[in-house]
Homo-oligomer: A and B are copies of this chain.
């Protein structure tokens, strides 16, 4: 392992000062004569010079790094968001520290602390636990944060949101428009604003159509505390909840779920028990993850622009970090129905 080459080595080689070398190698706008500049660049190449960003960062107080805290990358929903974030981060020459919180407050705290110590000035969080005060603390220390998909009640936080309520409404309306009246709602616990939003939209659509929901239509699984995360949990949840539906005397003809994985689990269970989808029961998912196009029947669902949200969040963060005035502190993206094959169509259309 060879010793690191520094700007001083280059300076010595071309008989210039470190300052000048720094100026040309860091693309400073400071004037340096053409000739010397060329010589320095050449020398840098010859010596196989690699700048040490730690030095620069310490001096400029800019770590060129952002942090991203999400529940788990194993959930394709978040994977997409991260991909969007990374794409624009790269354009701005920033790296991203990935932090999978597994919904564990202690881990979240740990990560937050690490990011702070590493002088990360920008953070994107998606569904963080109750860390309001902690975040407030970090904001005070100069960290800029963008929240995706979760309204946080701190004035300094920028937000990229999604209209879950409307999504739930559109989903339910789609079912109603196709002749369904008995519509069940299957979900993981309504402990997150997003799920509550979907539920609300569902209720509103029912109400608008003059439908009085039966309490049995509402199937919410109470997760066991400490349960491991991952796609499989949601899927299994969908199966379990669907089973409750199957054996009902007066069973619903349609199902709305809080996400695609739950929907796919439900479809699976229905089919296992010989209940045909969509002929006997229609299913509509939520999020439009890639897998929804890989099941039979193709899952009708509500599109959630995950990748775009990631991109937007990161652009916003970059603007904020650069001190560019960001006028809208909150952007709400819109849902869109993806009409595929898991919902039975009204014949008289």
Residues of A whose CB lies within 8 Å of any CB of B are 1-2, 48, 50-55, 57-58, 63, 65, 72-74, 76, 79-80, 82-83, 86, 90, 93, 95-100, 107, 110, 113-119, 137, 140-142, 230-232, 235, 261, 264-265, 268, 271-272, 290-291, 293-296
Task: Say yes or no: A119 contacts B1, CB within 8 Å.
Answer: no
Interface of A is mostly: helix
**Known contacts A74-B80, A100-B86: A265-B290 contact under CB 8 Å:** no
Residue of B57, B79, B90 touching A73 (CB-CB under 8 A): B79
Task: Say yes or no: A232 contacts B293, CB within 8 Å.
Answer: yes
User: Knowing that A50-B113, A74-B80, A291-B291 are A-B contacts, what are 6 other residue pairs whose CB atoms are under 8 Å apart, sorted by A's residue number?
Assistant: A1-B141, A48-B137, A95-B114, A95-B118, A232-B293, A291-B294
Q: A306: shortest Cβ distance to chain B, in Å? A: 10
**Known contacts A58-B58, A290-B230, A293-B232: A98-B82 contact under CB 8 Å:** yes
Q: A25: shortest Cβ distance to chain B, in Å? A: 11
Q: A227: shortest Cβ distance to chain B, in Å? A: 15
**Known contacts A142-B1, A290-B231: A79-B86 contact under CB 8 Å:** no
Number of copies: 2
Q: Which residue of B lies closest to A120 (CB)?
A: B95
Residue of B52, B114, B137, B268 touching A119 (CB-CB under 8 A): B52
Q: Which residue of B lies closest to A95 (CB)?
A: B97
Task: Say yes or no: A119 contacts B53, CB within 8 Å.
Answer: yes
Q: Which residue of B lies closest to A117 (CB)?
A: B53
Most buried by B among A63, A271, A290: A290
Task: Say yes or no: A291 contacts B231, CB within 8 Å.
Answer: yes
Q: A260: shortest Cβ distance to chain B, in Å? A: 10
Residues of B within 8 A of A76 (CB): 74, 76, 79, 231
Q: A48: shortest Cβ distance to chain B, in Å? A: 8
Q: Which residue of B lies closest to A82 (CB)?
A: B73
Task: Say yes or no: B54 contacts A118, CB within 8 Å.
Answer: yes
Residue of B80, B117, B265 touching A51 (CB-CB under 8 A): B117
**Known contacts A95-B114, A97-B97, A114-B95: A140-B2 contact under CB 8 Å:** yes
Bound: A93/B115 CA distance, A: 12
Residues of B within 8 A of A119 (CB): 52-54
What are the 3 A-B residue pairs with the smallest beta carbon separation, nearest first? A1-B142, A98-B98, A54-B58
Bound: A119/B57 CA distance, A: 12
**Known contacts A2-B141, A72-B83, A291-B291: A55-B53 contact under CB 8 Å:** no
Task: Say yes or no: B230 contacts A118, CB within 8 Å.
Answer: no
Q: A340: shortest Cβ distance to chain B, in Å? A: 13
Residues of B within 8 A of A72 (CB): 83
Residues of B within 8 A of A272 (CB): 296
Q: Which residue of B lies closest to A229 (CB)?
A: B83
Q: A73: shortest Cβ distance to chain B, in Å? A: 5
